[in-house]
Amino acid sequence: MTDDEDRTKRLVAAWRGADRKLSGSLLEPTLGELLATLPGLAGADPDEPVDVYGDGVVARLEQRVAELLGTQDAAFFPSGTMAQQVALRCWAGRTGNPVVALHPMSHPELWEGGALSVVSGLRTVHPTREARQPTAREVAELPEPFGTLMLELPLREAGFVLPTWEELVALVEAARERDAVVHFDGARLWESTVRFGRPLPEIAGLADSVYVSFYKSLGGLSGAALAGSASLVAEARVWRHRYGGQVFRQFPQALSALAGLDRELPRLPSYVAQAGVVAQALREGFGRAGLPWFRVHPEVPHTHQFQVWLPYEAERLTEAGVRQAEETGRVLFRRWSPAGPPGVSMTELEVTAPSLSWTPSDVQSAVADFTTRL
């Protein structure tokens, strides 16, 4: 076992043993715990015929997503990476332009191994390199034609940031004026309704296609959906097969996704509200601890996820967090990563159901305890 595997094992053990945490970790559940949840997911009928290549419960999930987003159809994909590659490939064929305008911090640029160019032969251009959403003016002034504008909503690597509703409308209009289509990377679109002040169908209705995740925010096992017009989704299903995504049976993923839509989707606005409370309490706690510098970004979170930056090495911060979990039973922070200049590290906080019982004083107390361990 490597040192990193040893560290992960210790972290997970500490997290599992804690009795108070701001959010759960995807690494915490055991195989047995996940298997035990399947029989009761989404009111599953054990006598229902099992799905075969996307029918049955998978088709039911696709219909549910299309209804929630207000689109004509939706197709289930085993991963968001595949769903987005297929969407952007379809649009390149339909527009006749293989150029995709997107942020350099977006998922296809950082986490897909260059698949857009290597697998699909597409090329990317960047409206901005700033750690924020692009502006309509930057899209309008891109010096070369592009067939698709892809917007990641929210933009995770920049701090889970969203534009305002007016800015989003202007971005879409700028793309239309360039004769481009618009695709939303909506892995975490579900919780964007709070900042936008609009329902999901109105948000999704701005785009020509939308990808949504079932394990991010909704807590499903895995999987994603691509939603849009009936003709686009029909074409996407052809490419899904070509990419190896026409999986024989997918009922565990589909059932867990339906359960997430039933259970977690209605709770997301409360998580977003609590994220604002937690972020404010963190700032006050760090201020009282007298740290030389800190940053909570955004100061008012756009979703229920945000970043925390501190001027210490990542290993030191992670060790402080795991000792706090082991010794006090409280999990405030999890893993930290180097970010920005040397000696500065960043962690992401996702505020979910376990955090709803935390008061501002609870957070400030945990911060005070954490900083004594640095």
Judging by DSSP bridges, how do beta strands 345-350 and 337-338 pair with one another?
antiparallel
Give the strands of the sheet with 337-338, arranged side by side: 295-297, 305-310, 345-350, 337-338
Judging by DSSP bridges, how do beta strands 148-152 and 295-297 pair with one another?
unpaired
Report which of 353, 255, 257, 348 is spatially closest to residue 307, judged by C-alpha positions: 348
CA distance 30 to 27: 8
At 360, is the secondary structure helix, strand, or coil? helix
pLDDT at 23: 81
Q: What global pTM score does this model have? A: 0.95
Query: What is the C-alpha end-to-end distance of the chain, expressed in Å?
Result: 27
pLDDT at 106: 97
Q: Which amino acid belongs to residue 22?
A: L
Structure tokens at 149: 């504008």
Question: Which conformational region is residue 223 in: left (phi greater than 0), alpha (psi within -120 to 50 degrees), or beta?
Answer: left
Alpha-carbon Rg for the chain, nearest whole angstrom, is 21
Question: How high does pLDDT run on average in the chain?
Answer: 94
- pLDDT in single tens digits along all 374 residues of the chain: 677 788 888 888 888 888 999 887 888 888 888 877 766 665 677 788 889 999 999 999 999 999 999 999 999 999 999 999 999 999 999 999 999 999 999 999 999 999 999 999 999 999 999 999 999 999 999 999 999 999 999 999 999 999 999 999 999 999 999 999 999 999 999 999 999 999 999 999 999 999 999 999 999 999 999 999 999 999 999 999 999 999 999 999 999 999 999 999 999 999 999 999 999 999 999 999 999 999 999 999 999 999 999 999 999 999 999 999 999 999 999 999 999 889 999 999 999 999 999 999 999 999 999 999 99
Structure tokens at 157: 């690597």
- The three state secondary structure string of 247-262 is CCCCHHHHHHHHHHHH
Structure tokens at 41: 């997911």
Structure tokens at 350: 């996702």
The owner of tokens 């899904």 is 240
Listed in sequence order, the DSSP H helices in 178-289 are 193-196, 200-204, 230-242, 251-263, 268-289
Structure tokens at 309: 């930056």
Residues 6+ apart with CB under 8 A from 218: 190, 257, 260, 261, 264, 265
Q: Provide the b/e sequence for 327-362 (b: ≥16 CB within 10 Å).
A: ebebbbbbbbeeeeeeebbbbbbbbbeebeebeeeb
Would you say the C-alpha torsion 110, 113, 114, 120 has a positive or negative sign? negative
CA distance 216 to 303: 13
Residues 6+ apart with CB under 8 A from 328: 369
